[in-house]
A and B are shown apart, each in its own frame.
Chain A
Amino acid sequence: MAHNFVHLHSTSAYSAHYGVSWPEDLVQAAAADGADALATTDRDGLYGAVKHVKSCMAAGIDPILGVNLAVLGSAVTQTTVTQTTVTETGVQQSGALEPDGVTRGRMRTSQSGSELLAESGRVVILAHGSRTLPAGAGYAALCRLISVAHSRSKGPVGVTLAQLAAGVLDPETGEVALTVLLGPFSNVGKALDGRKYLLPRTRFQEWVQTMPAGTLTVEVISHFSEPGTALSTSHAVRMVKLAQEFGVPAVLSNAVRYCAADDAPTADVLDAARAISPMRHVSNLQPTGQSWLKGAAQMHAMAQEIVHQGGLGAAELGQLWANTHQLADKCRLDPGSDLGWKKPVTPESEVLGLSLESGVELAQRAEAGLAWRFPGLSGRRLHTVHERLETELETINGLGFASYFLTVAEVSMMIAQMGVRRAARGSGASSLVNYLLGISAVDPIANDLLFERFLSRDRSTLPDIDLDVESAQRHNVYRRIFERFGAERVTLMSMQNGYRARGAVRDAGLALGMEAEEVDGIAKQLWRFSASSFREAMAEKPELRDFAARVEQSRVETDSGAEALQSGSGAQLDMLVDLTERLDRLPRHISMHPCGVILGDSSLLNRTPVQPSGLGLPMSQFDKHDMDPMGMLKLDVLGVRMQSAMAYAVREVVRLHPSKADAVAAGNHPVDGHGNGPAYVGEDGLIDLDAVPLDDEPTFELIRSTHTLGCFQIESPGQRELVGKMAPRVFNDLIIDISLFRPGPMKSNMVKPYLENRHGFAPEHYAHPDLKSALAETHGVTVFHEQVLRTLHIMTGCSLSRADEYRRALGTEREAVVEAYFRVQAKARGYENDVIEEVWETLKAFGSFGFCKAHGAAFAVPTYQSAWLKAHHPAEFLAGLWEHDPGMYPRRLLVSEARRLSIPILPLDINASTGHYRAERTISKGASLIGIRLSLADIYGLSGTELKRIVAGQPYDSLADLRDRARVSRPVLKRLAQLGALDSLQRAAAQITANTANRADLVAHVNSLPASRLSKAKQPMEGQLHLPLGELELGTLKAELPAPTLAETVRTELDLLSLDVTGHLMESYAPLLERLGVRKAKELLGLRNNTEVLVAGVRVATQTPPMRGGKRVVFISIDDGTGCVDATFFTEAQERSGPLLFGTRMLLIRGLTRRTGPRGISLQALEAWDLAQPQTLPVLVGAPGNRYDHGGSQQPPYVA
């Protein structure tokens, strides 16, 4: 008889560490079984709700939304609390039922005011749809209730009974907006799983009395666990009978956690991951594997079994079934009217300060921007600009997005007024309106950027306008946005963090109870592939070869029965791989998105639940994929460290050179005939980076030298190679360079022909002369999205905006449609078959991967600016890099770069160092130079408050002075001494007393000082001066220890500062390297192409950029103190190097030199060894040069 069944309780994978299946899979399974609606009820939020609705719409069924929330009650007795703190695992459990009562002490408790709250159970709460309520009222009540559940500053997420009772009604009409399902996981259900009579009834009574009438329903579930236990059929029978007794309707559900029975083990693994405990120790795993999305027939059978066991009849069965579907009907949501599906909402015009209709206002402001951006423009060019503006405004207003642009302009202006550097990034740079409103700094007409790539009538999604701001100011910018628009209109966007291979293998290992170290060792070998292809990767990837062999071995052992079933042994490796694959991509937690801010009107918090972010500001439970469906306006305000580094560098320049003349002289900037510096240097020495002309020759000279470490976008090994080959001369070259270094161009082999044509080695080639206008700037090679649009436009006659839709279809299943259209239209326009064939091949290879020129242009600006700073103010720029650490390399590599640039690195000094890396004047070898003073901030273990005290108390005249006033802990004092920060005090004292003690003696002395602080009473009173005995203390140190060696000092620096300042880490390997005949990085440029060499160094970067043909190429950069060597490992070299590829820090590499350009050289690696394992290194026989032999015993033979 079973027709269709609607599941009202179903958890998606977006319930982190709980749900197993994706919303689309659940929806498809339900629809396939004939259901016409499905609920999603994630734990603690609507994390998967929008995806669920989307899937429901695609499947043609009605979405139902709800949440699974903890209900909080006061923790009963004081003893409970004590016990709780002891047994608290920090993990909330509700996948299985809690034992009755609180004496087991597994509950989370919290102090809320004076009231102690603990989770008493969990309930499902469903939103009612617009059949019984004003549209959206049920959904709004659900959003607000969830936000309330997250509003406690400490303690468990959940609602009290009182909060729930207040939240289930629509405040406007007083109607019931939400239904609460009291199921086996509720405190009533938990009391029913034993033989107690009174407790469940008392609890139910409390619910009935507290909740408004018509909001309660009993949820009946059997997971067929052992009779009498939780989630057994007899438990379900008791639920039905209790519902009858209280006259409350009962509905049937299955508390779905996964799509199919196959997924049940995954739920166990997630339970273990949530409990941070091996499965065998998790006490409340699901009792059975029955919580899958059962079909109507199975649900009906379940209902029959319950009714039968309870001695009830067909009437009760029919009632249960009917109740379920009546409630489902009440809760069906209409995406349009209930959720505002796809209807963009922007802040109200009064909030934006608009006096006119938004479209008119936008047109007026853009018009006003014309005079500012294009002063003195006239005639045909002015006409062009006007025409473009009209087209853009027409599109924007046609889509109703005017207020969106005005909102972004408002934010952009607000940031500028804060004095924070900002730059628009992305396709927003294609818009003239953005340029005129000051949102973007790139002239889209001069740079030939197409508006259609950004926005068109053919696409109604809100465009992305992204703003880069100084990373150090990002949080302040967010706070200002909240202040400016009001907390009811703003929330941060969240992001889902899913399992990737490493995290998955770690948690799978944890669940199996494997040794953490062993799992860690395996995890380290996993490099950028999805967990679901683990087994495939084991077969293919050389670094997993050893692991694959172990799995194979364990299988043999298991089969032979040798070690079968021994937990913790190799027998689990196969299982580990399987479980890792199962965890693939499952969401682990949500976090604040790195840049998304959601702006809406005053109804925003009725449309998204919010919860606290790490920042303290509220964060939406929706991620970026949910924005467009929910009509939410998302602004990307991205913190960019490079912007902070540049702002810092500019401040350092003005601090050291506080006048225009000084700054101009220091930066060697051009002067006019009267000796006046350029306008972009202010009278006070302040440089306006955004006003620096884009044609500075020293800047391009620096870029061509490939010494671009620290420069935005062009510092990676691959980019250094590319700029070396390309030798950029003008700004547009930078745009092209950045756009070429992308997956699309790399894969479709655009780089080589482009370079050959550029350098005139090969003639430019155009498939047809008509395409010259589109492709000339890149010598006939298609690089930009814009060029694809123009190519399609030229050859098919379609509009540019249509062309952009076709471009988006490339590489998708819709590509065939585009191909057919292209071929037919191009043929109709008279193009020959071979032309069509060639162009289509190019378009197809380009896929949807290429780069939008507007992106490239937006990126090229900070690229140029950072190179400009490096060319003109290198010390200040490096100080900025050090301070804000924007790059891909570790800070220690900057030490090498500073050495190469002859910029002195000034050691830590208790009186000269601050909490920042500062540029500082210094005398070196008789010349006045600018050096960089190391910062105290990065000393290991130095707390923020200690740092503040030290800096506030500077200068110090003695050790005692430092101890008394800065009150640093003894370990920190010792570290300061070890790092030489106290050398200046020691030197000053030694000058007076002629003491000969060294740093080691000082460290020993500090070590011998009493550890304990003085008690409050014995501390010197404020203002009391210490006796001037400092000189005595340091001046009379016993000189008895040998001074630390260079190697010891370097080790100390690495340990405590993560920097090797005094000498390079590699220096201790010098004798070994000399024996092996290893070449220095700086020598390579002088070698002939294709010379075989050995190089050695510390790994500073590893990259696996996408490559033509899909073959993986691994770039490993090592630093040996004289510079970087960029080594490229192709397949064969990867095979030879195996497990060393990703885990090893100190590498010896054999390879062939490869010239990459006039100033560039890299290494094609042949093989690599771990320097830290000397016994595996190739042994040198002859000296010097390239003659080696294999003399070792177990290492692979070395063949020269």
Chain B
Amino acid sequence: MGTFSEAVEVVATTAGVPLHLLWHGRRYTIAAEPLRWYERRNWWDEETRAAPGTGAGLVEREIWRVQVRADNAAPGAELLTFDLARYVPRNHWRIMRIHDAAPGAGTGEDSPVGNGEQIIRNSSAVQASAGKKATAMHSDAVERTGRGA
């Protein structure tokens, strides 16, 4: 379940918006407005319980695409783009993807995010399905999840 992506410590605002990342002993600060969405989880495979009252956050995970700069980096250094997943209710964060170049704001209307995205870790089931999704995002398809399971 939790072993495929990488845990990361995130400092967030009270509203839940990430501010800093603590990763591999370095601190990174958010340098652009982050983008948030949710994506499905195959919870029936990943979990063993779904008792009434414990269902929040079961079907989806919260994803934040953040652009950060290392705190001690030289000014003007290139931004790093991470996709972070936040898990409720325990409120822990994992890095799902790291992009090698800034994908732009990602909010432009007809420019789906994911252009230029490159997955650098691809050794697990979670990553594999994320990989499929990356492909799907380039097509016009809507059905995005669970398809290849």
Contact = CB atoms under 8 A, between A and B. Distances in A.
Please determine whether chains A and B interact with each other in the same assembly: yes
Interface of A: 96-100, 193-195, 223-230, 232-234, 237-238, 260-268, 279-290, 309-310, 511-513, 555, 558, 564-565, 567, 571-572, 574-575, 578-579, 581-582
B38 A289 contact: yes
Contacts of B52: 262, 578, 581-582
Contacts of B39: 225-226, 287-288
B84 to A, nearest CB: 14
B35 A227 contact: yes
Q: How large, as a class, is the contact surface on chain B?
A: 35 or more
Contacts of B133: 226
Contacts of A226: 37-39, 63, 113, 133, 137, 144
B41 to A, nearest CB: 9
Of the listed residues B45, B52, B142, B143, the one surrounded by the most CB atoms of chain A closer than 10 A to its CB is B142
B58 A288 contact: no
B59 A558 contact: no
Interface of B is mostly: loop
A511 B146 CA distance: 13
A571 B48 contact: yes
Given A195-B140, A289-B58, A574-B48, 15 more contacts: A100-B142, A226-B38, A227-B107, A227-B113, A233-B37, A261-B55, A265-B55, A280-B149, A287-B144, A290-B60, A564-B48, A574-B49, A578-B52, A579-B50, A582-B52
A232 B37 contact: yes
Of the listed residues B36, B50, B113, the one surrounded by the most CB atoms of chain A closer than 10 A to its CB is B50
Contacts of B56: 260-262, 264, 289
A195 B40 CA distance: 23
A223 B37 CA distance: 9
A224 B58 contact: no
B142 A97 contact: yes
A238 B44 contact: no
Nearest to A190: B142
A286 B59 contact: yes
A224 B64 CA distance: 11
B54 interface: yes
A289 B49 contact: no
B59 A264 contact: yes
Contact of A565 (B40, B45, B137, B140): B45
Contact of B142 (A230, A262, A286, A512): A230
Contacts of A268: 43-44, 59
B56 to A, nearest CB: 4
B59 A262 contact: no
A96 B46 CA distance: 22
Given A99-B142, A265-B55, A265-B58, A227 B45 contact: no
Contacts of A289: 38, 56-60
B53 interface: yes
Contacts of A96: 142-143
B48 to A, nearest CB: 5
Contacts of A287: 38-40, 144-145
29 contacts: A99-B140, A195-B110, A227-B112, A227-B113, A229-B137, A233-B37, A261-B55, A262-B52, A262-B54, A264-B56, A264-B58, A264-B60, A267-B59, A268-B59, A279-B146, A280-B42, A283-B143, A285-B145, A287-B145, A289-B57, A289-B60, A290-B60, A555-B48, A558-B48, A575-B47, A575-B48, A575-B49, A578-B52, A581-B52
A265 B43 contact: yes
Nearest to B59: A289
A513 B145 CA distance: 17
Contacts of B147: 283
A279 B58 CA distance: 14
Contacts of B34: none
Nearest to B88: A261
Contact of B38 (A279, A288, A571): A288
B139 to A, nearest CB: 10
Contacts of B143: 96, 99, 283-284
A567 B47 CA distance: 11
Nearest to B106: A227
A280 B58 contact: no
A133 to B, nearest CB: 38
A229 B144 contact: yes
A736 to B, nearest CB: 45
B1 interface: yes
A263 B40 contact: no
Contact of A581 (B51, B57, B144, B145): B51
Given A99-B141, A227-B35, A261-B56, A280 B1 contact: no
A310 B107 CA distance: 8
Contacts of B50: 265, 575, 578-579, 582
A515 to B, nearest CB: 15
B4 to A, nearest CB: 12
A262 B53 contact: yes
Nearest to B39: A226
Nearest to A558: B48
A280 B44 contact: yes
Contacts of B146: 279-283, 285
Contacts of B38: 223-226, 287-290
Nearest to B141: A99
B44 A279 contact: yes
Given A225-B38, A289-B58, A567 B44 contact: yes
Contacts of A266: 55
A910 to B, nearest CB: 56
Contacts of B149: 280
Given A575-B49, A579-B50, A193 B37 contact: no
A263 B144 CA distance: 22
A538 B114 CA distance: 48
A824 B56 CA distance: 51
A582 B37 CA distance: 27
A781 B29 CA distance: 81
Nearest to A292: B56
Contacts of B46: 565
A193 B126 CA distance: 26
B45 A225 contact: no
Contacts of B35: 227
Contacts of A238: 109
Interface string B52-91: 1111111110010000000000000000000000000000
Contacts of A571: 48
Contacts of A263: 55
B68 to A, nearest CB: 19
Given A264-B58, A280-B45, A280-B146, A227 B51 contact: no
A234 B47 CA distance: 31
Of the listed residues A193, A283, A564, A572, the one surrounded by the most CB atoms of chain B closer than 10 A to its CB is A283
B44 A234 contact: no
A223 B46 CA distance: 23
Given A225-B37, A280-B42, A309 B107 contact: yes
Contacts of A578: 49-52
A512 B57 contact: no
Contacts of B58: 264-265, 289
A310 B48 CA distance: 40
Contacts of A281: 146
Contacts of A229: 137, 142, 144
Contacts of A572: 44, 48
A113 to B, nearest CB: 32
Interface in B91-112: 106-107, 109-110, 112
Given A99-B142, A227-B106, A565 B1 contact: yes
A456 to B, nearest CB: 42
Contacts of A285: 40, 59, 145-146
Nearest to A581: B52
Contact of A511 (B44, B47, B112): B44
The 5 residue pairs across chains A and B that have the minimum distance between CB atoms: A228-B112, A288-B38, A261-B56, A289-B59, A262-B55
A450 B112 CA distance: 75
B48 A194 contact: no
